C-alpha cells in the first residue's frame, strides 16, 4: 500500500497485477475489515487500497481461504506507488517474511488473478510482486513464491482451455 490515488477522469484500464502481503498475522479471524478501516478511516482513502484479498476465514470449526472483495475493479487502487493507475492489487493476509503462504491460499488467489487476466487481457508476464517496484520492501515476503503462484494460475488456465473444447 502507498499513495492515495489521483482523482482522474480517464478510464482505469489495468495492464498488470501486483501481489502484496499484509504483514499482519493470519489468525483465522477476518482482518480484511481492519485493513479496510485503517485505509478509509485512518488514511482517509476512498476505499481499501487493494482490489482483492485472500484470507483464512473460520466458519465454525472449518477454516477456508476466501477471496475478499476490495476496491471496485473499475477504480484505481492505492497499493503501489507510481503504479496504481494501471494495475490491480491483491493482498495475501499474513507475513510471508516469516513463513511461506500455504498452497491452498495461493490457489485461492490464483483463481481471482486468472479471472482478472481473462477479463482485462493481462498476460502472465504482467504479474509482479510489490518488491519489483519498490526494492526497499520485501512485499509479499521473501518466502512468497511468485513462481508457484504463476504455476497455479497456469493450471487454472489450462483447465479453462480444456473445458472450452468439450
Q: Which chain residues interact with Zn ion by CB under 5 A? A: 20, 130, 139
Minimal distance in Å, beta carbon 39 to Zn ion? 13
| DSSP state string for 152-164 | HHHHHHHHHHHHH
Q: Find the Cα–Cα–Cα–Cα dihedral 11, 44, 26, 85, rounded to 10°.
A: 20
Nearest to Zn ion of 38, 157 (CB atom): 38
In the complex, least distance from residue 166 CB atom to Zn ion, rounded to whole angstroms: 39
* Nearest-angstrom CA–CA distance, 140 and 26: 14
Residue whose CB is less far from Zn ion, 20 or 83: 20
Smallest gap from Cβ 50 to Zn ion, in A, equals 9
Per DSSP, the three-state class of 59 is: strand
Amino acid at each position: 500500500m502507498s499513495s492515495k490515488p489521483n482523482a482522474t477522469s480517464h478510464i482505469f484500464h489495468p495492464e498488470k497485477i501486483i501481489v502484496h502481503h499484509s504483514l499482519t498475522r493470519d489468525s483465522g479471524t477476518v482482518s480484511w475489515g481492519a485493513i479496510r478501516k485503517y485505509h478509509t478511516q485512518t488514511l482517509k482513502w476512498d476505499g481499501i487500497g487493494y482490489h482483492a484479498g485472500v484470507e483464512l476465514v473460520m466458519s465454525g470449526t472449518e477454516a477456508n481461504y476466501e477471496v475478499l472483495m476490495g476496491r471496485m475493479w473499475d477504480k484505481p487502487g492505492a497499493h503501489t506507488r507510481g503504479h496504481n493507475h494501471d494495475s490491480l492489487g491483491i493482498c495475501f493476509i499474513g507475513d510471508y517474511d516469516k513463513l511461506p503462504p500455504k498452497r491452498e491460499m495461493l490457489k485461492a488467489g490464483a483463481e481471482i488473478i486468472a479471472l482478472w487476466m481473462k477479463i482485462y487481457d493481462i498476460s502472465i508476464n504482467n504479474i509482479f510482486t510489490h518488491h519489483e517496484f519498490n526494492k526497499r520492501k520485501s512485499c509479499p515476503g521473501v518466502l512468497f513464491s511468485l513462481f508457484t503462484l504463476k504455476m497455479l494460475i497456469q493450471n487454472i488456465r489450462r483447465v479453462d482451455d480444456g473445458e472450452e473444447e468439450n
